Structure 1
């Protein structure tokens, strides 16, 4: 499995892309926590597009190894999410409302239609919801818990449906003005840490 493909393998391969214990000061009501995240997502939803750089670290439990990659990303509410891995192997991942496409050297090496793959649809919806600030979709798919309020903020998303629960334990979101980190915890022990930086809104 190539290091550059780890985000694609998490989202598409269904080997997907240690639960955190909240400190006492974070033991607030679910209602208060979700309203805080709802407000933050509402601000992000006003932005037409986001772009920046990322560093990603994927821990594979079965191999007890970590794969690192880096690159840039761009999200547009109409065109979707483009995830351009620059190192170690140039790879482009495009996520739209209809499909997930992986390209190398300008050639399509994988294409998945959301109509044919319910899991692909679910993952596509989740990434659109996170980057597009879609509160309704996130609350439909996840139970949301506040880990840290204020700035910086941290929220934990636990999947509700059996389909996501079978692969994904939780997603942790971290940020200030905008989302700047995601931690994806899978049921097989794999973890993906994604750090976003130099994020600019348009």
Structure 2
């Protein structure tokens, strides 16, 4: 009897433990993970592959994110440039990306900035309005593939791949013309927006 009770107890424990162990990592889990910090700064490296020219273009810079406020995207090389994305202009950018009449304009930096803001905000509802989301992996090694739903977006790119762990670490935009934009984020860390460091200073 004690042996049987022990076996039943172990079986019960397995039934309690296994569902949590095999449960797929879900979007709510990822949102919780990405929402841990109200402000984040880091660096990025972009590599753009131009299929027609078989050419690689590389650029580097840094970004600063403040929840419910903005993402400051600063390009350092090969030229200097600075873009500021807010929830309002990110929505406007998303609307323009649905406009077929604007399909020939180069909006990849705006796409990355808008994606970064929506991801850090945990705005999956906004993303799901335009994309089919396929999440796989674990909290320490996750990947999301975004496939555009609208025909206008499918004329721009076939899919977007996101990968990361504690933070978003890689973004790949695969354009319909076979161009690929790869962005790698690194040296990411939380920071205090009220500190003396200006929001557009390069992270140290």
Bucket of the pairwise TM-score, normalised by the shorter protein:
0.5 to 0.7
Give the number of the structure whose alpha-carbon radius of gyration is greater. Answer: 2
**What's the CA shift for 1:55?**
0.9
Question: Which residue of 118, 121, 135 maps to 2:124?
Answer: 135
Root-mean-square deviation (CA, aligned residues, Å) is: 2.8
Alignment-derived partner of residue 144 in structure 2: 155
Q: Is the 8 A contact 2:98 2:150 kept in 1?
A: no
Partner of 1:91: 81
CA gap 1:169/1:38 in 2 versus in 1, 3 angstroms: farther
TM-score, normalised to structure 2, is 0.67
Q: CA deviation at 1:125?
A: 4.9
Aligned residues: 158
Do the aligned residues in 2 keep the contact of 1:126 with 1:137 (CA within 8 Å)?
no
Structure 2 spans left out of the alignment, 5+ residues: 1-22, 100-109, 192-204
Q: Is the 8 A contact 1:114 1:120 kept in 2?
A: no
- SS of alignment partner, residue 128 of structure 1: helix
Do the aligned residues in 2 keep the contact of 1:71 with 1:86 (CA within 8 Å)?
Answer: yes
Could you say if the C-alpha distance between residues 180 and 54 of structure 1 is closer, same or farther in structure 2, counting changes exceeding 3 Å?
same
Q: Which residue number in structure 1 is paired with residue 12 of structure 2? A: none
After TM superposition, the score normalised by the length of structure 1 is 0.68
Q: Is the 8 A contact 2:145 2:162 kept in 1?
A: yes
Change (3 A) 1:197 1:149: same
After superposition, what is the alpha-carbon deviation per residue over 1:143-179, rounded to whole angstroms, capped at 9, x for unaligned?
1113433421112111112232220211111111111
Which structure has the highest helix share of the two? 2
State the match for 1:75 in structure 2: 65
Q: Name the structure with the higher strand share.
A: 1
1: distance between equivalents of 2:31 and 2:49? 28
Structure 1 position 118 matched with structure 2 position 96: yes
Deviation at 1:199, TM superposition (A): 0.7
| 1:76 to 1:163, Cα distance in 2 relative to 1, 3 A | farther
Kept in 1: contact 2:43–2:187 (CA 8 A): yes
2:32 equivalent among 33, 42, 45: 42
